[in-house]
Amino acid sequence: MQVLTRRGVALCFLLLLVLLFAASYVAGRLGVGGETRFALSPEKIAVIHVSGVLNDATHFLREFHTFKDSRDVKAIVVRIESPGGTIVPAQEIYEEIRKLRGSKPVVASLGNVAASGGYYVASAAEEIVANPGSITGSIGVLAVFQNYQELMNKIGLKTEVMKSGEFKDLGNPMRDMTPEEMEMEQQLLENIHQQFIRDVALGRNRSVEEILPLADGRVFTGEQALKEGLVDRLGNLQDSIERAAELGGIRGKPTVVYPAEKRLSLLDFLFQQIGLRVQGLFPDLGWSFRPLLLYAPFLP
């Protein structure tokens, strides 16, 4: 009898551990114990941040899919704090937002800067809310080529390039570009620029002819962008949340939820820091001739 009692106590203890683990897991998934993430209210507004230079859309797409498939989330606010970045991440985020048109409202909230690729992303939303002083627009494409030829000549360093294909080393920083290469690169930029203009026009429900005069790379304040029809209204993040609640059919004060914060392990943090140090010690000296084509203002 005593053995059975001990066994029963052990089973109860094990069951308690399983329940605690399950509760901890659920709390972690729902964000309980820290900043409010999910509440018991059945109708919610999700806020997702797009921040920094856009060079990878994977993290955003993962968060976006989590909320877009949630029945409790009636609308999504995309808070944008980005000067843009490389082309494909902006296009990937744009496409994911566009797919929700007609099923779940998405409101873009512009912070300090939502320009170039940042505006590209915003233009996919059902509505755009900007602060009066937000910097936005910059509808254009940029490519910067480095030329180290004179420097290499001064220090006596010479490179030999072997290639198969006339334009394979286009952008080689050890020589000047030929007129043919310049023309080819300009055609490439023009094509990507047209994609940018076309997608903004589609997202804003305007014609390409209406967007074209605004697509010369200039930036606008939020007030200017409102007059030009690039944004829909002025307001802050809270205004964007309230507008999303209206579009989502939520009555009263909405429950606001955020993605669970990703916590870096010590090993991930160390590798991240090592990568940053190596990048600082060995800047790009032309190991890849092709420059990054950017949806971003010029950054020297």
Active site residues: 116, 168
Cα angle for residues 145, 146, 147 (degrees, 5° grid): 120
Q: Which residues pair with 110 in a beta bridge?
A: 80, 130
Q: How far apart are CA 12 and CA 21, in angstroms?
A: 14
- Residue 274 φ/ψ, nearest 5 degrees: -65, -40
User: What does DSSP assign to residue 171?
Assistant: T
* Residue written as token pair 């972690």: 28
Q: How far apart are CA 152 and CA 149, in angstroms?
A: 5
Q: Helices in 31-130 by DSSP H: which ranges?
A: 58-68, 87-98, 117-122
231-268 as b/e: b if 16+ CB within 10 A: bbebbebeebbbbbbebbebeeebbbbbbbeeeeeeee
Q: Which residues pair with 130 in a beta bridge?
A: 110, 234
Number of Cβ within 10 Å of residue 168's Cβ equals 11
- Tokens at 171, concatenated: 């952008």
- 213 burial class (0-12, 13-18, 19+ CB within 10 angstroms)? exposed
